[in-house]
Structure 1
Amino acid sequence: MVKKRKGVLLTFCCVLLLSIMAVGCGGGGQSGSNEETGNEEITLELWTIALQPTFNDYFNALIADYESSHPNVRIEWKDYPYDAITDKLLTSIASGSSPDVVNLNTEFASQMGSKGAVVDMNEYLNDEQKGAYFDGIFNSTVIDGKAYALPWYTGTEVLFINTKLAKEAGLDPSNPPTTREELAEWGRQVKEKTGKAGYAQQLVSKLFPIEGIPILTEDKTAAAFNTPEAVAMINNMKQLMDEGVILKEDADFTKQIQYYSGEQTAFQLGGPTFINFIKTSAPDVYKNTIAVPLPTGQGDLRLSNSMNLVVPSKSEHPEEAVQFAAFVTNAENQTAFSKEANTLPSTKASTQDPFFSATDDSLEAQAKVVSAQSLDKATDYMVGVPNAKDVNSAIARGLQNILLNGQDVQQTLDAAEQEVNGILQQ
């Protein structure tokens, strides 16, 4: 799910403050955190995002299982709303009351990692533990060789098609588009025959790597997106918006749901969680929807949208915290959670379970199977990018200025490149 960008400046300021504090305080009270604890009982505080009360039974059983095999460890589980956890985390660390294991998305996990605010998992995990995850997903939070998070539940995008609108446009849903060019042609036909748009999208930086345009140089020290190929991509997108194939709007996830539910768009590019919303808001549209593999651009990427577990540097028990995070995200527990939550695992062994290949022809099963088939190719498009949140924001503003406000393509790309380079030097 796409996080609203309001509060980005405040969050960035908090991260900078945290970075300064970390340098000034030298890591707080964790100097003895790797000592043998013997029989001393320790408490690890786990924070998750929006999982209570739906998954209380699962987590209570998971925690009880861990505590039974680690008699000196107690787990205290707290759950917070999506929009609250980052600010709450920064505040708690600054006040000296850091949690031990925290659920964050990849973007913010990378942001925290680039500021030295979370531990390097490599210091506490063996090769077998690290090798359990899909390489592209695990490497999404590796910066300069340091692994700042363990991947947890994830998802890859699929293409949802409103079969009613597609058929009204003379299209065959059983032979769906496989490339972005074909998807654009489908959108044109939908617009011509029904007056509806093809799809809505958010103007974010992932639009570049989808078309094979890298956001940063290979060493992650400078912007790399200001290219003739980027100009051509943006001009093509502008034309599609002018034609009504893509809605001329920066449509966040909530707006995309509204447009698809109201049959203002015929297609939706999104993860399986999208189903939960249309099933409730538009049951008739849900019944007419199918899920097929996502059409690919020049980059031929399968982008993941992962949740992760991190261990803040201020944790008093980093080794025990990392081992608990590894337990939560191991193949057995990820498989079990996926069955409970209809998510996808980030562990290789999990996808061998028949659950991820079996289908009953429901929309949920279609999306699950299609998504699971792409996990071995999945990666976060901002792999290892320092200050990922701020880089994303700079590029998004540039796209908005060009596509919505009519600013010059090349001049705006030049300005965005300069802004991103400045961010990377911070």
Structure 2
Amino acid sequence: MVLKKGKWLVMLLALVMLVSACGGGGGGEGSSKPGDGDKGAAAGEKKITFWTISLSPTFDDYINGVIKAFEEQNPGVKVEWQDIPFDNVEQRTLTAAASGQLADVLNLNTDYLKKLSALGAVANIDELLPDAKKDFFEGVWTSGQFEGVTYALPWYLSNSVILYNKDLLAKAGFDHPPATEEEAWEMSSAIKEVTGFYGHSIKDIHLYLPRYGINIVSDDFKSAAFNKPETVEIFKKFKERYDAGLIPEEILLGQAKVQEWYAQEKLAFWQTGPQLFRQINDLSPEVYNKSAAATNLVGSTGQSHVAIMNIAVSEKSKHKEEAAKFAQFITNAENQLAFAKIVAILPSVKEAAKDPFFTEGENSEEPSERGRFLAAQQLEKSVDMLAPVENVSQINKTINEEFHRVLLEGKDPAQAVADAEAEVNRLLNQ
């Protein structure tokens, strides 16, 4: 099962990037509405609603099983599950927030979480569950934060490792994958010279800068923080690589899909979550069989970006204590491990990652199995690198557009960075 990359962790995980199906099933749209309180509940029973994103009907058995177990452990509490198709989730949640009709417990990606946090629509998890933080990987925990306050528990996630074509590397004289970003581009140059194809590639820059310690926004979240000499030098370096023919324009412009180019042996490396490796097997079993997995490339921080789905609690929930308890229950180690064994995701809770399911596979020759091991090992150094601010999507778009202008139009790198800074400052203060 494979998710569409743009819907990554939402339709599992592509996270995110997995498989998914919308509507129907045990979740569906449900008959009652958030805000109905205990309407329809038995006498003395407390009802909480739970919204997920594109998990039904594929994961009906799992979600319904978690709900049943929670209700058995918490007599008098009834959980009503409603699943929302990915394409409807932003409009549905923002409209519900404006009218005070949010579900008690919500599955949100980091973008929607920031928007609802800015509206004051979701509850302060630091206050509701003050001891929860210790259970989660430190870098993952921050995904639920907005301007320094935690508004959600991390749920399922994905980080990237490298899938590489051993034959293409061998043709260029290499018997190992790149260990550093610089080595990846050196290999790319050799691969291009010998085969005419590409090694490494890049499309956007907003997740690259934090890997080198360049924050997108300031610590007080009020201004851009990336206009510095290091950023300008990075833009210049990529312009040189583009001019040298090492960065395919089709990938840069989004006109070609990386996985398809990899399957056609036009690219030697693909940095992505191991749950997507099977796409290559579907597209070209021959290329998949000559591939192997390697640790992700990291910058000076030693950290990798992690894409995360979160669980939040409505600020206006009539049963906030029970809602928080359910949020903690569905994200506990036992339930996350069970979920990970159904679909190719990683857990956000440290205890779940200790299971042999994740600790074995180091020497596997099967790319996705070894990829899963490597991805799990990276969790200690995985961080949500998206800026914890409301307009994060627009901010990223601004930075990437200026980056593209440098490569494609020859815009002066220093001017591009300055122009991006001015627009990001406007977005942060509008």
Question: TM (normalized to structure 1)?
Answer: 0.86
Identify the residue that residue 320 of structure 2 maps to in structure 1: 318
The runs of at least 4 consecutive aligned structure 1 residues that moved more than 4 Å come to: 251-254
Secondary structure class of the residue paired with 2:162: strand
Unaligned residue ranges in structure 1 (runs of 5+) = 5-28
Identify which of 356, 359, 376 aligns with 1:357. Answer: 359
Counterpart-to-counterpart distance in 1, 2:147 and 2:84: 31
Alignment match of 2:81 (pick from 77, 82, 87): 77
* 2:151 matched residue in structure 1: 148
Q: Does the alignment pair 1:202 with 2:203?
A: yes
Greater RCO structure (CA 8 Å; 6+ sep): 1
User: Once the two structures are superposed, what CA deviation does each residue of 1:316-360 show, in whole Å capped at 9, x if it has no partner?
Assistant: 333322221111101111111111112110111111111111124
Deviations 1:134-173 (A, max 9, x none): 1111023223442111101112211110112122222113
Instruction: Indicate yes or no: 2:296 matched with 1:297.
Output: no
In 2, the alpha carbon distance for the partners of 1:285 and 1:132 equals 40
Deviation at 1:55, TM superposition (A): 1.8
Match of residue 172 from structure 1: 175
Question: 2:219 maps to which residue?
Answer: 218
Which among 130, 135, 140 is matched to residue 132 of structure 1?
A: 135
Instruction: Give the C-alpha shift of residue 107 in structure 1.
Output: 2.8
Q: Is the Cα–Cα contact under 8 Å of residues 198 and 244 in structure 1 kept in the other structure?
A: no
Question: In the aligned structure 1, how far is the partner of 2:55 from the partner of 2:290?
Answer: 29
**How far apart are residue 38 of structure 1 and its match?**
11
Q: Which runs of 5+ in 2 are unaligned?
A: 8-33
Secondary structure (helix, strand or coil) at the match of 1:155 reads strand
Give the TM-score normalised by structure 2.
0.85
SS of residue in 1 equivalent to 2:233: helix
Please tell me whether the aligned partners of residues 97 and 116 of structure 2 are also in contact (alpha carbons under 8 angstroms): no
Instruction: Please state if 1:307 is matched with 2:309.
Output: yes
Task: Look up the match of 1:262.
Answer: 264
Local SS of the residue matching 2:257: helix
- Cα distance in structure 2, aligned partners of 1:152 and 1:177: 31
Tell me which moved more, 146-155 or 195-204: 195-204
| Per-residue deviation, residues 213-240 of structure 1 (Å, max 9, x unmatched) | 2212233221111111111101111121
3-state SS of paired residue (2:397): helix
Structure 2 equivalent of residue 11 of structure 1: none
Q: Give the distance between the partners of 1:119 and 1:198, measured in 2 at CA.
A: 46
Aligned partner of residue 373 in structure 1, secondary structure: helix
In structure 2, which of residues 161, 164, 175 is the aligned counterpart of residue 161 of structure 1?
Answer: 164
Report the equivalent of 1:230.
231
Partner of 1:405: 409
Q: For residue 391 of structure 1, what is the aligned residue in structure 2? A: 395
**Alignment-derived partner of residue 328 in structure 1:** 330
- Partner deviation per Cα, 1:350-395 (whole Å, 9 max, x = no partner): 1111111112432121111101111111111125334322222221
Q: Which amino acid aligns with 2:422?
A: Q
The equivalent of 2:113 in structure 1 is 109
The CA distance in 1 between the partners of 2:387 and 2:100, in whole Å, is 30
After superposition, give the CA deviation of every residue in 1:286-311 in whole Å (9 maximum; x if it has no partner). Answer: 22221100122233222111111122
Give 1:66 deviation, angstroms: 0.8
Instruction: Indicate if the aligned counterparts of 2:143 and 2:308 stay in contact, CA closer than 8 A.
Output: no
CA contact (8 A) 1:201 1:251 kept: no
1-structure distance, mates of 2:390, 2:419: 19
* Matches of 1:296 and 1:139, distance apart in 2: 19
Q: In angstroms, what is the RMSD of aligned CA positions? A: 2.5
Query: Please, which moves more after superposition, 249-258 or 141-150?
Result: 249-258
SS at match of 1:74: strand
Look up the match of 1:241: 242
- Count residues in correspondence: 396
Distance (Å, rounded) in 2 between the aligned partners of 1:251 and 1:284: 28
* Residue identity in the other structure for 1:317: H
> What percentage of residue pairs aligned between the two structures are identical?
37
- In structure 2, distance between residues paired with 1:95 and 1:220: 28
The answer to whether structure 1 residue 419 and structure 2 residue 390 are counterparts is no
